[in-house]
Amino acid sequence: MATDNPPAFEPTSIELQSVADSTITAVSLYSTRAEVTRLFKFTVQTGQNQVNISGLPNVLEAESLKVEGRGAATIHDVTLSMAEKLRSRSSPRLQELLIMQEGKADDLARCQQALSSVKQYLGSLTVQHLAPSQLEEVLQQSETTGARLDARKVELMRELQRISADIESERAQIEISPGQNKLRNKAAIGVFAESAGDVEIALVYAVPFASWTAFYDIRVNMDTKESPVTIMYKAAVQQNTGESWENVPLQLETATPTFGIDVPLLVPWNLDIYQPPPTVIVPVPTRAHYSGAPVIIQSRSHSRRSRSRSRHRRHSVSSSSDAPMPIPMRIVESAVTSTGNVSATFRVPGLVSIPCDGAAHNFTIVELHPQAAMSWVAVPRREAKTHLTAHITNVSEYTLLSGAANVYVDGSFIARSAVPTVSPQENFDCPLGLDPSIRISYHPVAKKLSQSGFYKKNAMHVFTQRITIHNTKNVAVEQVKIVDQIPSSRNAQIKVKLVQPALALDEDTVKRAEVRKTDAAVKVGAGIVARWDGGDEADRRVSWTCAVPAQGKINLSLEWTVTVSPANAQVIGL
């Protein structure tokens, strides 16, 4: 009696294509790579199912691949393999067109040969072969034959052009694009289902060749004092991973992802007593001009540090008692030091599409309205231009990453600047370029000379410098800073004294650093305060902080004296 054997168990095979049969539900983009989540929906049969997903990126990092199942099924195993490189294909239509092209090319060659034969025949005719009465008939027949062959030649050339165009079109349809060879990874997933039904599988994997950088548009409205600065926080995204991201939710990460679960190992940490390398003392012959001290030469077995030190001290002579003590070497564990602890996550609004082209695609993350205090600085002695700077405080919940910034003032592009890494509630200074609406006039200096003394004449030079600030804006401006300077004496025969503004300075008895600590600002007019402006003792800078009304002007005056004794002494730099 024959025994019935149960049929061999064959798992149900399910073939899926990554791009066509799934959607990207999330992309987390880091500085050097991206984490992509693809969701597949399909139907499984009861029992074992073998799900083969093809068309995954070649650059997919195998150690990052994760598979998450959703539904009444269990994932058993996951393997990743690479398919062979796709080759150029052919088609019956292409073969037919190529045969037609070859046939028409042969017809054209025969037509051209016939034309050439007609020309050769006419060139070979002489009076010996042809009577004059037959010449007209022969020429007429030759002309008719040549015209017919020329028309045939033109027709064949047109047909060849049409066939060539059809061949190019057919090849374009069946050609393997370079992008297809970038998607040759294949994932095989074993799925066991207790009952037939629909399930979902999410593939999460990391791919390199994807990055993003922050950049900004800083827009300044000079006609308002309330929120004069707007920062457009933007991201430049580029990816060349092999697959395009179509209508995906994009999340930008500043942290660096780590894939892997291995625990780091400690290396042995040993202690020992430092042993200086042996030395060889070579006696040097004594000469009249030489002390006769021995020269110390280290052996070849000395350490790298000793070898470097000996290179610097070779040819030097010292006694053994005066030789420097060797410095023992320490064993230092290598470590990775982070240059910052900024970690933030940004979500780009809506869904975005980023093709696989390696080009930068720009997206706006958020529009920020920080607190900003505007200030103007001018150094008219060097140039009569006013530099605008914004002291910006990040009052948002977003961390500003370092990046380039395009600066626009009143709608006009002014300059390119840079934004440092700024955490919430931190601030930074942002140069905004030149502001032509604050005009500075640096008038010619006025000079007076007088002499005093009976026996020993002294010469006193009085200098007066006037500065005019004109605000052409329709709003008043504050914090306009004007910086100028007076000379500094480097000779006891020259005395320099500041007269206006009346800032205290007794350079004979008080050091410059002490003066800055004790000096108070001096109010020299409505909304105008003068003070010493830092620098060292040789840099006698004076600054005014001014408030200038709308369409208004203010005048500043800097006056100082230079006393020279004797009067006929020649002063350099005056």
Inter-residue long-range contacts of 385-388, CB under 8 Å, 24+ positions, other chains counted? 385/434, 385/440, 386/434, 386/435, 386/436, 386/438, 386/439, 386/440, 386/480, 387/431, 387/433, 387/434, 387/435, 388/220, 388/431, 388/432, 388/433, 388/434, 388/435
Looking at residue 453, its pLDDT comes to 63
Question: Which SS3 state, helix, strand or coil, does residue 304 take?
Answer: helix
Looking at residue 332, its pLDDT comes to 29
- Residue owning tokens 């983009």: 29
Burial class of 532 by CB neighbour count within 10 A (0 to 12, 13 to 18, 19+)? buried
The counts of H helices and E strands in the chain are 4, 31
| Kind of pairing between the strands at 47-56 and 12-17 | parallel
The pair of three-digit structure tokens given for residue 414, joined into one six-digit string: 């002014």
- Residue owning tokens 């060539």: 164
How far apart (Å, rounded) are the C-alpha atoms in residues 486 and 116?
99
Burial class of 405 by CB neighbour count within 10 A (0 to 12, 13 to 18, 19+)? buried
Q: Parse the chain into domains and list their residue ranges.
A: 12-87+180-208, 92-124+138-174, 212-256+342-372+388-425, 439-564
How far apart (Å, rounded) are the C-alpha atoms in residues 484 and 532?
10
Question: Which SS3 state, helix, strand or coil, does residue 223 take?
Answer: coil
How far apart (Å, rounded) are the C-alpha atoms in residues 283 and 299?
16
- Which amino acid appears at position 383 of this protein? E
Considering the entire predicted model, what is its pTM? 0.61
How far apart (Å, rounded) are the C-alpha atoms in residues 432 and 436?
12
Q: Which CATH fold would you assign to the domain 12-87+180-208?
A: Immunoglobulin-like (2.60.40)
How far apart (Å, rounded) are the C-alpha atoms in residues 528 and 545?
6
Ramachandran class of 513: left when φ > 0, alpha when ψ lies in -120 to 50, beta otherwise: alpha
**Three-state SS annotation for 468-491:** EEEECCCCCEEEEEEEEEECCCCC
Looking at residue 557, its pLDDT comes to 95
- Residue owning tokens 């010619």: 444
538 contacts 526 by C-beta, under 8 angstroms: no
75 contacts 190 by C-beta, under 8 angstroms: yes
How far apart (Å, rounded) are the C-alpha atoms in residues 125 and 136?
13
Mean pLDDT per 10-residue run, the chain (574 residues)? 51 92 95 94 93 94 90 87 74 86 90 86 68 73 85 90 88 68 90 91 95 94 83 95 94 73 73 73 48 39 41 38 34 30 78 93 93 93 92 92 91 88 92 90 92 75 95 90 91 90 62 48 91 69 93 94 86 82
CA 99, chain centre distance (Å): 54
- Residue owning tokens 């948002």: 396
Inter-residue long-range contacts of 109-118, CB under 8 Å, 24+ positions, other chains counted? 111/149, 111/152, 111/153, 111/156, 112/153, 114/149, 115/146, 115/149, 115/150, 115/153, 118/142, 118/145, 118/146, 118/149
